[in-house]
Homo-oligomer: A and B are copies of this chain.
Amino acid sequence: MKTDELLEKLHRVDREYYRLEKILALLQWDEETCLPPRGVEERAEQLALLQGIAHERLVSPLVGQCLAELGSTTENPRGDEGLPALQRDFLRVVRRAYDREVKLPVEFVSAAARAEGLSQAAWAQARRTNDFSLFLPHLRTMINFAREKARYWGYSAAAGNNNLYDGLLDIYEPGLSSARISALFIPLGERLSALLKKLSPPPPYPFLEQDYDTRVQEQFNHELMDYLGFDSGRGRLDISAHPFTTSLGTDDVRITTRYFPRNLLSSIFSVIHESGHAFYEMGLPAELRCSCLADGASMAVHESQSRFWENVIGRSRPFWEGLFPVLSRYFPTQLGQVDLDTFYRGLNQVRPSLIRVDADEVSYPLHIILRFELEKQLIAGELAPEDLPGRWREYSRRYLNLESETDSDGVLQDVHWSMGAFGYFPSYALGNLYGLQFRAQMHKDLPGLESALAGGNFKPVHEWLADRIYRWGRRLEPSELLATVTGEQLSTDPFLDYIEAKYTGLCR
């Protein structure tokens, strides 16, 4: 076959695989937002069937043959040097996916998808009823599937090392081993713990203890999305037990949040966070549409976007100069007498809390380090699933000096393990690091940024992100993207510098 034909055949399979993955994403989105409780079992069967079909499309002999004929091998995934750069990047990502999937039997893929569907529903019920025992058998199953998957990929379970876990990390953050992550996380944790001790405890903020009608919160969130530049013709906001973003296509990107009457900030910041993910997905360039390149560079880079919007923008003073008057109009009783400075200090108060997604910027990475340590142990077999709640409480005291009264606010708070997503959590803290390195570059490039933010003008930010980050989709490895944008390697310094400057300033 000619090169053009080979590429066309590969693109065709890739497009179909992309669409099947998006249909799977709709099944999952619907399970989290709409599915009636009794529909869970049949949904799990639908997921199993469709995941199997998607898998079989990708691992067909045709794909292996086209890749080989185009010169793409495991060692040289980008194929023949004479191909255009875009096609070589495409080959790299297809090769990577093919190498992974071809090692998994289709029965394994279907069974894992079925188990995930059931596990997520069991987790939601366990969390709702604060009953870890409902989730325990599913957790065990999810750990087994994760270990087995890593084994299929050639990682081993030799005692005392994290090889199996490294195999899972590689799904979300290609190229980063657990040793490398530990080398970043240990000093990061130490410096943040030291900072926490230095900061004065925050004063009470009575306005945060008020009731906020959840319907009004929802109305405000729609205005907030609009304010941030979220195109409601290409996405939507729904409610789920755990906030998330899913892309069902570049023009159909959906975010979710949840509402608590006594926690105004929770839904606001999850909406800003998820909007950051959504902007990335919606901002992918036309040339990458409907292909494996129409995705973020990695989960950590994706989290760099969400946490950049949530924290660097959303928790900044200029941002609330523009938005606080709007928010006050929605809640005149609760906020009418609060001044901007008090509001700003209230939303940036550093007070370690039990819930990761509601954590302040200083203690947030400690939540991640806690989970990173625990999931390493779970995958290495050093921690039995039934001992997880106890170990969670122990680590919660160690890292956060807090202990949850319930498992719902403790080990059951996050959806990730119920989906078998072991190795995902580090992405959040790594995302903080990437995000602050990107920010340093953005500030150099956009000197008038703060006054634009204060005026509610996010156009410079959207354009900068589109031009420097979104344009690449998944074409570059995360480290290549970082080097391309900033000329640097991954580092904790910009993040720690930012945190220390902001919070020693705020909490004197």
Contacts and interface: CB of A to CB of B under 8 A. Distances in A.
Interface of A: 16, 19-20, 22-23, 26-27, 30, 34-39, 41-43, 45-46, 49-50, 53, 231-236, 248-252, 290
A16 B49 CA distance: 7
B49 A234 contact: no
B19 A234 contact: no
A20 B249 CA distance: 20
A46 B27 contact: no
Contact of A46 (B23, B30, B41, B250): B23
Given A22-B42, A36-B251, A42-B248, 15 more contacts: A19-B45, A20-B49, A23-B46, A30-B30, A34-B236, A36-B235, A38-B231, A38-B252, A39-B248, A39-B251, A39-B252, A42-B249, A42-B251, A42-B252, A43-B252
Contacts of A22: 42, 46
Contacts of A248: 39, 42
Copy number in this complex? 2
A20 B30 CA distance: 16
Nearest to A251: B38
B236 A38 contact: no
A233 B38 contact: yes
A106 to B, nearest CB: 13
A105 to B, nearest CB: 18
Contacts of A234: 36, 38-39
Given A26-B30, A30-B30, A232-B36, A251 B41 contact: yes
7 contacts: A19-B49, A20-B49, A23-B23, A26-B27, A36-B233, A36-B252, A53-B53
Contacts of A53: 53
A19 B37 contact: no
Q: Which of A26, A231, A232, A233 has the most CB of B within 10 A?
A: A26
Nearest to A52: B16
A232 B36 CA distance: 7
A35 B38 CA distance: 24
Contact of A26 (B16, B26, B41, B232): B26
A392 to B, nearest CB: 31
A35 B19 CA distance: 16
A37 B233 contact: yes
A309 B236 CA distance: 35
Question: Which one of A37, A50, A236, A248 has the greatest number of beta carbons of chain B within 10 Å?
Answer: A248
Contacts of A16: 49
- Pick the 10 closest A-B CB pairs, nearest first: A39-B252, A42-B249, A38-B251, A38-B234, A38-B233, A37-B233, A39-B251, A19-B49, A19-B46, A36-B234
A41 B248 CA distance: 12
A23 B23 CA distance: 8
A27 B49 CA distance: 16
Contacts of A251: 36, 38-39, 41-42
Contacts of A49: 16, 19-20
Nearest to A35: B252
Contacts of A235: 36
A122 to B, nearest CB: 16
A250 B26 CA distance: 19
Contacts of A20: 49-50
A248 B46 CA distance: 10
* Residue of A16, A248, A251, A252 with highest tally of chain B CB at under 10 A: A252
A23 B19 contact: no
Contacts of A35: 252
Contacts of A250: 42
A238 to B, nearest CB: 8
A233 to B, nearest CB: 5
